[in-house]
Amino acid sequence: MPFSKTSTHSEEYWTNHFENFLKPFLEHRFPKLIVRKSEPLRGDVLNQIILDLIKSRIVIADITDFNPNVVWELGVRQSFKHGTITIAEEGTDLPFDLNRKGTLFYKFSSHPFGKMPDQFVDQLAKAIQDCLHKPKRPDSPILESISGHGTFYQTVLKDDILRKLDSLLDECYANIGLLNAILETARKNEPIVQEIVRIRGDEKVIEKNNKLYELENKLVWTTSRLRSSSIEHLVTTRYLDKDNEFYSSSSDYFHDMLRINDQLISWEYHYNSINNYLIFHIPIIKKTIRAFVKKIEREYKEISYLM
């Protein structure tokens, strides 16, 4: 933003614009972010500004009055990185090359001492949240032009991610259905298993082996296995822009599927302990999967709508 007088505003105006509104608002709404503005361009300060423009997670550029330094800094930022928000006072006539990028407009009568309109505040907060949650989403026409991250690229990327999420959701739904079948089978086996345990422990039972053989023939096993290829792909490639907590829960779900499959392999040979294991753990795992499915469904809708 400007640091000195521009064509329609004084140096005091710009100082108050930053110190009395933008900085306190942003630090209050986003306490984990450090908010700074650029300094006058002289000497080594220019090198620091360039580094800040490249390294900062988010840059807000106020292009009101088209201050040359501000426009130059905006060009530097957009030549290296996405995550840039442009704002301007209402009435600013944007030229063609800046009009391509969405700009948030603010208006009030006695700035810098007036109150910023709530609509602008909400729009600015949403734009920052979008930069934080979708840091790879293109917003620089320069980078879009030279790297191919334009409309076609985004369409292909969107379709690819949605296909992966379709596969993942289908896998989750199938696993929930199979877990229901496994749990039902384990519960049907339970009274038979308990009777086998009772007979084995009762020395007075005559023809024990015949009865055990008869009972064991009544036990039923599930030959199908839980699917895990789609969740494994998500965990290993991390193709969604999500935090470590999301991928930690994804990894937990993936390993739950592997553990259940390991139990199913030995179920026939260790039916007492494994039957109990399945009856106890499957309801817990089903809740975990359903919670995970809701996250993926929300992600699917968000990508379908926003990308």
Q: How far is CA 263 from the centre of its chain?
A: 32
Entry pTM: 0.52
* CATH number assigned to the domain with residue range 11-148, chosen from the 4 options 3.50.30, 2.30.30, 2.60.40, 3.40.50: 3.40.50
Residue of 113, 124, 150, 137 whose CA lies nearest to 30: 124
Q: Are strands 103-106 and 59-62 parallel, antiparallel or unpaired?
A: unpaired
What is the per-residue pLDDT across 112-150, written as a single tens digit (0 to 9) for each? 445 655 788 889 999 999 999 888 777 777 766 665 544
What is the per-residue pLDDT across 72-85, written as a single tens digit (0 to 9) for each? 999 898 888 889 99
Lowest-confidence segment of 20-29, 116-125, 201-210 by average pLDDT? 201-210
Vertex 128 angle, CA 126 and 16, to 5°: 105
| 2 burial level (CB within 10 Å; 0-12, 13-18, 19+) | buried
Kindly give, in sequence order, each residue whose CB lies less than 8 Å from that of residue 30, ignoring residues fewer than 6 positions away.
128
pLDDT over 70, % of the chain? 87
Q: Which residue has the higher pLDDT, 168 or 150?
A: 168
> Which H or E run contains 233?
helix 229-237
pLDDT for the residue numbered 306: 57
